[in-house]
Amino acid sequence: TLGVAVEAYTVDWDRPPLDYAEWEARFRVPQWQRQYCYRQLTTPVAYITSWLSDPFARFPKIDTDGRSSREEMAYYVYQNYVPDRAAGSPTLAIQRAFARGYIWGFYSVGPIPMSITPWFSEMLGRTVPVADSLGCIYDPTNGTVSRGRIHRTNKGILTASELAL
């Protein structure tokens, strides 16, 4: 699975793969071309043969600048929370997420693909009220078409109860 691939990379390299913000900082690749950061898991060592498409993602819409909209990317969104990020000083949310034991995470847009905030690092780092974050977590008990993203971190599947701890 994707989580196993990210974890294996993290063990081998003593840090998680660069995320899209770090990739932009190091190589000047625009964040909206986030697929470049996924190459670390396929080349030169194949931790996974290809980056998995998000089964809930819609086909990307293209904006007037020719970029896919951030909310409707075809792939899972990946981010790491290491304090020595290549992207410069980490945000307060990333620092707090790391302090709470989160090293990396990715999410699917879920059954109802839509842009919902807060962002993943804000939720994990608790820089926004927990009540605001709980509505962003997909809950399978609400049916197969409930709102919310499906999150996976180095700690496992992120649930509302874990977020509230």
pLDDT tens for residues 87-103?
A: 666 788 888 888 889 99
Q: Are 16 and 103 in contact (CB under 8 A)?
A: yes
Residue 77, both tokens = 């969104």
Q: Are 62 and 114 in contact (CB under 8 A)?
A: no
Residue 165, both tokens = 């701890």
* Digit-coded pLDDT (tens) for 47-66: 998 877 777 776 555 555 55
Q: Is the dihedral of CA 159, 78, 54, 65 positive or negative?
A: positive
Rounded to whole angstroms, the Cα distance separating 107 from 128 reads 18
pLDDT score recorded for residue 155 = 92
Stretch 31-43: mean pLDDT = 75
* Digit-coded pLDDT (tens) for 138-160: 777 766 666 778 889 999 888 77
Q: Which residue type does 11 have? A: V
**Which helix or strand (DSSP H or E) is residue 116 part of?**
none
